[in-house]
C-alpha cells in the first residue's frame, strides 16, 4: 500500500524507518518530513495543519493509509476528514483526541470511569480559581485546559507560585484561549513513566513503555522541554504493574470512550505517576511520544505497518506484538538555546560516521537538506538511539554515536537513563 506519514519530528522518522522494510509497503510519503525522512520517503511540502492540502495529496498520490504523528492535526480533525473520504487513518477522531486536547475533558472522563488520577476542579473564573488555591494551599498543580505546546502546566510548590500561574494563564492570557479554562489539581508524588497502548474502540492492548527526561540540562535541571531523551523499556514497570495499568487505567478509558460516543482508535500515551497507592494518570496524549518512540520502535519485531493498519481498520484483535529482548536509549541533540531561542541553518557533520557504528540509529527531527549538507532548523534536531542487551550498553552505544557527530552549535544531556542505571 501507499502510505503517508504526517509530521516532521524524530517520532515520524522513527515510524518511517520502522515501516520502510515492511512487505506491505509500496511507496512511502511524508508531509512535510525532514532530511532524514527524505532518505526513506518522498517528502511533500505541506503543513501538518493544512487539512485540505493533505486530502489533495492523498488523492494525487493514491495514498491508501495515513499515519498521523503530532497532536495538532488530530485535534484539528484531520482523521475525520480523511476517514469521511474513505481513507484508512491511524490516529483518533477530533472528538476522541480531546483526551489530549482538553485536560478538563480528560479529567471528567477519569471521574466517570473511576480511573485513578489527581483530585481536581475546573475553573473559568479567575477569582474562584484563586479562592480554591487559598483553601487548599500548596503544593498544587495549575494546568491550562487546552494545548499549550507543553508550557501550560505549573507544579506550584508555594501558594504564591500557584496564584501567579493563575494570573499568567487567565489575566495575561499567556497561552491564549488554551488558558481561558483551568484545571487545578492535587500534587502527586512518585516516579513518572510513559505507557503506550493501542486501541480500536473497546479492544486495547499494551504496546510498550518508556521513561523520558523533560528538563533541558543534566541532573534534571533547567527549563522543561519536549523531552531530551528516553529509554525503553521502563525497568520500573514490571509485568504485574503493566497488567494493573491496563486493568485500572487503559481498558476503563477505552470502554468509557465507546460509551460516551467518542471511541478511541490509535495509540493511548498515558503519562503515569507511580505513587505509593499505585499507578495514577497524570495526563493522556492521543499519539506516539517524542522522543519515547525513538526508543521503543527499534525494539519492535512485529511489522509496525501491519499493526497500525489493523488498528486503523478495527482489527486489533488480530494483532500480536513481538519485541526484541533488548533495551534502547535515545539521546536528543538540540540547538544551543533550546527551549528558548536558538540559531538556525548551522551545519551538522559526522552523521554517516555515527550511523555506521554498531547498534545505533540516527533519527532526524529539525533538519533540512541543503545541497547535500544537513542543516539544523529546529530546537530538537537529532535523536540518537543506541540499543543492546542491557540499558547500560545501549547508553554507551548512543553516546559513542553522539560523540561522532560534529555540530558545535548543538548540545545534549550526558546523563540520559541515570535513574534506571543508578
Q: Who contacts 167 (Cβ-Cβ below 8 Å, separation ≥6)?
A: 126
Give residue for cell 494483532.
319
All three cell numbers of 209: 513503555
Residues 79-118 touching ligand AMP, rule: CB under 6 A, are 118
Give the integer Cα–Cα distance in Å for 334 and 217: 11
Closer of 378 and 404 to ligand GLY (Cβ): 378
Give exposure, 1-17, as e/b (b: 16+ Cβ within 10 Å). ebbbbbbbbbbbbbbbb
Q: How far is the CB of 7 from ligand GLY (least distance, A)?
A: 12
Name the one residue in this structure whose C-alpha cell is 532530511.
35
8 A C-beta contact, residue 401 and residue 362:
yes
Here's the x/- map for ligand AMP, 136-165, by CB under 6 A: it reads as -----x-----------x-x----------
Find the shortest distance in angstroms from Cβ 52 to ligand GLY: 27
In 187-237, DSSP assigns E strands to: 191-200, 204-212, 215-217, 221-224, 229-232
What residues from 208 to 237 belong to the interface with ligand GLY (CB under 6 A)?
Answer: 212, 226-227
Mask: binding to ligand AMP, 192-211, rule CB under 6 A, as x and -? x-------------------
Question: Which CB atom, from 13 or from 213, has the smaller least distance to ligand AMP?
Answer: 213
Angle between helices 103-113 and 251-259 (to 10 degrees): 100
- Could you write out the DSSP letters of every residue in 130-198? HHHHHHH-SSEEEEESS--TT--EEEESSHHHHHHHHIIIIIS-TTGGGGSSEEEEE---SEEEEEEEE
Q: Which does 227 bind (CB under 5 to 8 A by kind): ligand GLY, ligand AMP, none?
A: ligand GLY
* φ/ψ (deg, to 5) at 373: -95, 140
CB of 264 to ligand AMP, least distance (A): 18
Of 214, 306, 312, 199, which Cα lies nearest the Cα of 249? 199
Question: Grid coordinates representing 384?
Answer: 540518537
CB nearer ligand AMP, residue 264 or residue 284: 284
The grid coordinates listed for 320 are: 500480536
State in angstroms the smallest separation of the CB of 373 from ligand AMP: 36
Number of residues that bind ligand GLY (CB under 6 A): 7
Three-state SS at 363: strand
> At its nearest, how many Å lie between ligand GLY and the CB of residue 288?
7
Query: What is the 8-class DSSP label of residue 228?
Result: S
Q: How far is the CB of 291 from ligand AMP (least distance, A)?
A: 14
Q: Which does 118 bind (CB under 5 to 8 A by kind): ligand GLY, ligand AMP, none?
A: ligand AMP
Query: Of 145, 283, 292, 388, which one interacts with ligand AMP (CB under 6 A)?
Result: 283
Between 32 and 226, name the residue whose CB sits nearer to ligand GLY: 226
188 belongs to the binding site for ligand AMP (CB under 6 A): yes
Q: How far is the CB of 127 from ligand AMP (least distance, A)?
A: 23
Instruction: Report the site for ligand GLY in 253-312 (rule: CB under 6 A).
Output: 285, 289-290, 292
Q: Which is nearer to ligand AMP, 153 or 163 (CB)?
A: 153
Binding piece for ligand AMP, criterion CB under 6 A, among 124-132, 182-190, 318-326, 399-407: 182-190
As given in the structure block, the three cell numbers for residue 82 are 480523511
| Interface residue list for ligand AMP (CB under 6 A) | 118, 141, 153, 155, 185-188, 192, 271, 282-283
| Interface residue list for ligand GLY (CB under 6 A) | 212, 226-227, 285, 289-290, 292
Amino acid at each position: 500500500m501507499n502510505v503517508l506519514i504526517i509530521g516532521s519530528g524524530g517520532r515520524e522518522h522513527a515510524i518511517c524507518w520502522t515501516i520502510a522494510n515492511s512487505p506491505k509497503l509500496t511507496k512511502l510519503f511524508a508531509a512535510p518530513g525532514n532530511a532524514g525522512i527524505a532518505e526513506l520517503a518522498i517528502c511533500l511540502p505541506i503543513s501538518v495543519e493544512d487539512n485540505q492540502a493533505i486530502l489533495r495529496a492523498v488523492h494525487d498520490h493514491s495514498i491508501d493509509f495515513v499515519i498521523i504523528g503530532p497532536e495538532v492535526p488530530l485535534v484539528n480533525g484531520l482523521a475525520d476528514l480523511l476517514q469521511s473520504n474513505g481513507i484508512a487513518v491511524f490516529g483518533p477522531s477530533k472528538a476522541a483526541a480531546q483526551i489530549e486536547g482538553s485536560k478538563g475533558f480528560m479529567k471528567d472522563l477519569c471521574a466517570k470511569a473511576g480511573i485513578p488520577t489527581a483530585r481536581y476542579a475546573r475553573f473559568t473564573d479567575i477569582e474562584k480559581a484563586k479562592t480554591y488555591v487559598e483553601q487548599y494551599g500548596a503544593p498544587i498543580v495549575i494546568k491550562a485546559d487546552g494545548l499549550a505546546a507543553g508550557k501550560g502546566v505549573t507544579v506550584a510548590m508555594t501558594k504564591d507560585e500557584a496564584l501567579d500561574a493563575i494570573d499568567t494563564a487567565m489575566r495575561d492570557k499567556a497561552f491564549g484561549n488554551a488558558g481561558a479554562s483551568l484545571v487545578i489539581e492535587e500534587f502527586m508524588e512518585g516516579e513518572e513513566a510513559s505507557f503506550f497502548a493501542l486501541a480500536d474502540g473497546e479492544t486495547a492492548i499494551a504496546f510498550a513503555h518508556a521513561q523520558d527526561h523533560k528538563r533541558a540540562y543534566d541532573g534534571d535541571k533547567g527549563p522543561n522541554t519536549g523531552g531530551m531523551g528516553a529509554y525503553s523499556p521502563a525497568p520500573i514497570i514490571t509485568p504485574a504493574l503493566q497488567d494493573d495499568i491496563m486493568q485500572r487505567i487503559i481498558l476503563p478509558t477505552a470502554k468509557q470512550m465507546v460509551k460516551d460516543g467518542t471511541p478511541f482508535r490509535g495509540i493511548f500515551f498515558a503519562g503515569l505517576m507511580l505513587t505509593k497507592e499505585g499507578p495514577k494518570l497524570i495526563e493522556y496524549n492521543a499519539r506516539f511520544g517524542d522522543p519515547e518512540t525513538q526508543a521503543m520502535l527499534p525494539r519492535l519485531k512485529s511489522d509496525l505497518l501491519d499493526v497500525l493498519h489493523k488498528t486503523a481498520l478495527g482489527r486489533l484483535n488480530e494483532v500480536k506484538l513481538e519485541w526484541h529482548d533488548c533495551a534502547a536509549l535515545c539521546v536528543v541533540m538540540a540547538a544551543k538555546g533550546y527551549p528558548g531561542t536558538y540559531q538556525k541553518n548551522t551545519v551538522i557533520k559526522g552523521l554517516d560516521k555515527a550511523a555506521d557504528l554498531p547498534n545505533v540509529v540516527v533519527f532526524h527531527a529539525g533538519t533540512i537538506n541543503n545541497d547535500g549538507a544537513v542543516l539544523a532548523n529546529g530546537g530538537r534536531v537529532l535523536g540518537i538511539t543506541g540499543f543492546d542487551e542491557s540499558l547500560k550498553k545501549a547508553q554507551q552505544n548512543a553516546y559513542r554515536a553522539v560523540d561522532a557527530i560534529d555540530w558545535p552549535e548543538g548540545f545534549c544531556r550526558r546523563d540520559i537513563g541515570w535513574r534506571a542505571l543508578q
